[in-house]
Chain A
Amino acid sequence: MFYNKKWLFLIILYAMSMALYYFIDKQLILTGFMSGVLIGSIIIFALIAITCFLIALIVSIIARVSYIAGCGLFKVSPKEMLAKTFWTIFTVLSYAAVFIVFLKMIEY
C-alpha cells in the first residue's frame, strides 16, 4: 500500500500545505485569522484532507459495490480490500489537490 506509515503521509501532506500557504499568501495577501502561518496552513491542510477523504470514501464505496457485483456475476469470492482502496485513492487525491492548488497559485 502506498505510504503504509499513514502518520508520515499526513505529516508530509501538512508540510505541503505549509508550502501552499506560502504561495497563497503571496497571491492573495491573507488577512484575519488566516494571516498566521500555523493556523492558515492547518486550515489548508484540513480542507484538503477532508475534501479528499469524502471523495475517496464515496469513490471507494462505489468501487467496492461494483467489485462485489462483478464478483457475483463471475461467481468469484470477493477479497477484503476496501481499506486499501480507500487509502490509495485518498493519497492520490491529496497529491492531485495539492498540485491543482499549486498550479492555480503560481499563475498570473
Chain B
Amino acid sequence: MVSYNTDMVPAHKVAGILKKKRDTNFRISVILTLCFLLVCGIVYYAKNSGYSKDVILQKANSYFAHEQYFMAAKYFNKAVGLGAEGPEVFRNYGVALFKLGNYDLAIKNLKLSVEIDPYNSDTYYLLGNAYYQKAYSANSSDMFLQSVECLEKAINFSPDMEKAYILIGLSYRNCGMQDTARAWYRRALLASNFSPPGFYNLIGHTFREEERYKEAADYYQRAIDIDYTFTAAYCNLGDMYLKMNDKAAAMLKYKRAIGVEPNYVLPYIKIGQVYYDDLCFDDAVFWALQAFNINSDSDKANYLLGMSYKELGRKNEAVEYLQKAAYRGSDEAVYELKNIGIDLLR
C-alpha cells in the first residue's frame, strides 16, 4: 500500500488522492458484491435444474404418509413450484398445511383440488373443515356459512359421510342457528345407519344452547335409552337436572355414569362441584380426590380440590392444587392465585 508524506504534498492534492483511493475501494466493493450475487444466481440455477419434479413429489408423499406434515408441506411446495399438479397433489398439500394450522393456504390448495376434481366428497369435507377451523379462530359467521356450503356438497356426493353432518351441525350452532343444526342432525338420523345416540346427544346440545333444558334432557335420555353405556349423556342429563334445580336427580345421573364407567373422571368432578356449591366442602374434597386419583393432570379436578381446601382454610394444600390447575391450563386457578397473592407470571 502506498503511503503519502503529507508534509511535502499540498493539502488539496492530498484530499484528491484520498478521494481517488476511496472511489477505488468503492468500485472494488461493488464489483465484489455483483460477483457474489452472480455466484448465488449460478448456484441457484444449477441446483434447481438438478431437481426432478417426480422425485420431489415422491418425497413429499412419503413424508405425508408418515404424518411428517412440515416436511411434506415443504416438498409439496417445491413440487408445485416445479409444475406438479393434479387433485391429489393439491389435496395432500392442503391437508399438510391444515395440520400445520395454516388454514389460508390450506383453503387455497383445497380449492385448486376441487376445481380439477369437482366430484370428490372428501376434498369438499376437508375444505369445509378448513373453513370451519378458520371461522372458529376468527369467530366469523360468514366463514361458518362457507364451511356449510362445502360440507353440503360433500354430503351431496357422499350421503353416508357422518362426520360431515356432525361438522355442518357444529357450524350452524356456532352461527346461533340451532334449529337448522337440529334439522341436519335429524336428517342424519333418517339418512343412514349412523349412531342414533350420538345424534340425539347432539340434538340435546342444541336445545341446551337455547336454554331449553327440558327438551335437552329429553334427547339426552333418548340417547341413554338406546345406549346405556353412553356416560357423557348421563353427565349431560345430570347437568340439565341441575339447571332445572333437581339436584337429587342430577346426582343420580352422575352416579349412574360412574357405575357404567368408573374411570371416567367427569362425573366425580360434577358431584364434587354440587357439594361445593352446597358448601359441603369435605364432601367436595372427597369427590375431587377421587377424580384426582383417576387423572391427576385434570385441571378441573385440581381446581376443585384447590378451591375446596381454600374454603376449609387449608391454604398450603389449596395453593398446591391451584398451582397444578394453573399449569394445566386453568385460567380461574391463575385468577384465584392472584387473589391469594401469588402471581405465576412473575
Query: Are both chains from one complex?
Result: yes
Which of these binds chain A: B96-104, B110-118, B241-249? B96-104
Contact of B105 among A27, A29, A103 (CB under 8 A): A29
Docked Cα-Cα span, A12 to B28, in Å, equals: 15
- 1/0 per residue, CB under 8 A from A, across B38-57: the answer is 01100110011001000010
Q: In B94-142, which residues have CB < 8 Å from any A CB?
A: 97, 100-102, 105
Cβ contacts under 8 Å, A27 to chain B: 74, 77
Number of chain B residues close to chain A: CB under 8 A:
28
Find out whether the CB atom of B44 lies under 8 angstroms from the CB atom of A106.
yes
Using a Cβ–Cβ cut-off of 8 Å, how many residues does chain A contribute to the interface with B?
19
Question: Which of chain B's residues have a CB closer than 8 A to the CB of A2?
Answer: 25, 28-29, 32
Q: Once bound together, how far apart are the Cα atoms of A103 and B102, in whole Å?
A: 26
A3 contacts the other chain (Cβ, under 8 Å)? yes
Contact in complex: A108, B36 (CB < 8 Å): no
B316 at the interface (CB under 8 A from A): no
B-chain residues with CB within 8 Å of residue A102 when the two chains form the complex: 40, 43-44
For the complex, is A67 an interface residue (Cβ under 8 Å from B)?
no
Shortest A47–chain B CB gap in Å is 19
Q: Is the CB of B40 within 8 A of A28?
A: no
Judged by a CB distance under 8 angstroms, whether B327 is at the interface is: no
Residue of A12, A95, A106 with most partner-chain B CB within 10 A: A106
Q: Are A29 and B28 in contact (CB under 8 A)?
A: no
Given A4-B25, A99-B36, do A106 and B74 touch, yes or no (CB 8 Å)? Answer: no
What 1/0 mask marks residues of chain A from 89 to 108 whose CB sits below 8 Å from any chain B CB?
00000010001001100111
Q: Any chain A CB within 8 A of the CB of B22?
A: yes
Binary B-proximity of A1-22 (CB < 8 A = 1, otherwise 0): 1111100010010000000000
A27 to B79, CA, bound (A): 11
Chain B contacts for A3, CB-based, 8 A: 25-26, 29
Convert B1-27 into 0s and 1s, putting 1 for each residue whose CB lies closer than 8 angstroms to a CB of A.
000000000000000000000100110
B75 on the interface (CB 8 Å rule)?
yes
Picked from B43, B77, B97, the residue with its CB within 8 Å of the CB of A26 is B77
Q: Which of A12, A28, A108 has the most chain B CB within a 10 Å cutoff? A: A108
Interface string of B248-284 (1 = CB under 8 A from A): 0000000000000000000000000000000000000
Q: Is there an interface contact between A9 and B48, defined as CB atoms closer than 8 Å?
A: no
A21, chain B: closest CB distance, angstroms = 15
Q: Which of A1, A31, A106 contacts B25 (CB 8 A)?
A: A1
A107, B78: Cα distance in complex, Å = 10
B residues apposed to A, CB below 8 Å: 22, 25-26, 28-29, 32-33, 36, 39-40, 43-44, 47-48, 51, 56, 59, 73-75, 77-78, 81, 97, 100-102, 105
